Structure 1
């Protein structure tokens, strides 16, 4: 029974580690893309997002 508990604990730790690595990968990817994107492209993306949320912008 002790072996099962240790195995479940190790599995949960591996899942958490995988989730952290995946979140960090996506987060760094967003920062990288936003950092190298032209300002006009970022403005257009924010403007289009405001329209999709029915938020008046002009």
Structure 2
């Protein structure tokens, strides 16, 4: 009878890099959203609602 062993390993460097890039991306999104005009955000959200078929009026 044959057995198969599956081993997985993840380096802490890879996990730290992934977490760091995710945090950086989140920070960039927050900063950009904080500096954009409210009308531009509303228009973008409105267009997405129409494109996905959600009612917005």
Q: Could you tell me the TM-score, scaled by structure 1's length?
A: 0.76
Structure 2: distance between partners of 1:52 and 1:40: 18
Tell me what 2:41 maps to: 42
In the TM superposition, what are the counterparts of 1:23-38 in structure 2 within 5 Å? 23-38=22-37
Offset of residue 44 of structure 1: 0.5
Gaps of 5+ in 2: 1-8
Shift of 1:49: 1.2
Q: Whose helix proportion is higher, 1 or 2?
A: 1
Q: How many residues align?
A: 49
Q: Which residue of 1 aligns with 2:17?
A: 18
TM-score (norm 2): 0.77
Give the superposed CA RMSD.
Answer: 1.4
Instruction: Flag the structure with larger Rg.
Output: 2
